[in-house]
Amino acid sequence: MSERAQLLLELADDELILGWRNSEWTGIAPFLEEDVAFSSIAQNEIGHARALYDLAAVELGTDADALAFDRKPEEYRCAQLVQLRLVPDWAQTIARHVLYETADALRIAALKEHDDAELAGIAAKVEREEVYHRLHAEMWLERLRNEARYTEAVDELWPYALGVLEPGLRPALAERVGRPQVQAVERSAPGEEFAALWEEMTMVRRSAPVGAQW
């Protein structure tokens, strides 16, 4: 697999799994207005994943759904941060949201400058949507920054957040978040929590032969 395809899968897997985790809040968010807003964020993330998978699929001779659903758990390349199950903790959810959006902004900004026109193009599109994700994260940050449960959540998730980015971008993240760099929880192979997620995510799909229509 080319470096390009690996990069695309890494990004797509992050967005897919984060979108999957964020959609666990549908119907049970803290209040109705926020439920609707957060659901759009989850949908946007899945939409980004789909676009990135589409691009990788051309090179890999497959399609987006096959990449999203038909790989074995150990073949996914998502960061540990997005795999964590945080429902029903809203403070942790927002902490992840703030940290991820900050990290992703750095990653996407770098990707916009990529030599590969298709990669740069998709990064630009993703960024235009993520402007709103960042605004959403900031408005919640304003309200929760002094809550103990929020700051504790950031403490806990900070090493995971660093693991979203390749080492070259981590100092910039530390500066933006205002925390010293620490030992990151690296991307490594997905663990047990992911296995349970994968099981649920693919159970309907696996109930029919590969290639079945849904």
Binding site for another protein (CB under 8 A): 20, 23-24, 26-37, 39-40, 42-43, 46-47, 49-50, 53, 64-65, 68-69, 88-90, 132, 135-136, 138-139, 142-144, 147, 149, 200-201, 203-205, 207-209, 212-214
Q: How far is the CB of 53 from another protein (least distance, A)?
A: 8
Residues 6+ apart with CB under 8 A from 171: 181
Q: How far is the CB of 206 from another protein (least distance, A)?
A: 9
Measured from the CB atom, the residue of 117 and 212 that comes closer to another protein is 212
Q: How far is the CB of 93 from another protein (least distance, A)?
A: 10
Cα separation, 11 vs 146, whole angstroms: 32
Helix (H, G, I), strand (E, B) or coil at 97: helix
Which class for 178: exposed (0-12), middle (13-18), buried (19 or more C-beta within 10 A)? Answer: exposed
Measured from the CB atom, the residue of 153 and 162 that comes closer to another protein is 153
What does the DSSP 8-state code read for residue 88?
A: T
What does the DSSP 8-state code read for residue 31?
A: S
Measured from the CB atom, the residue of 189 and 208 that comes closer to another protein is 208
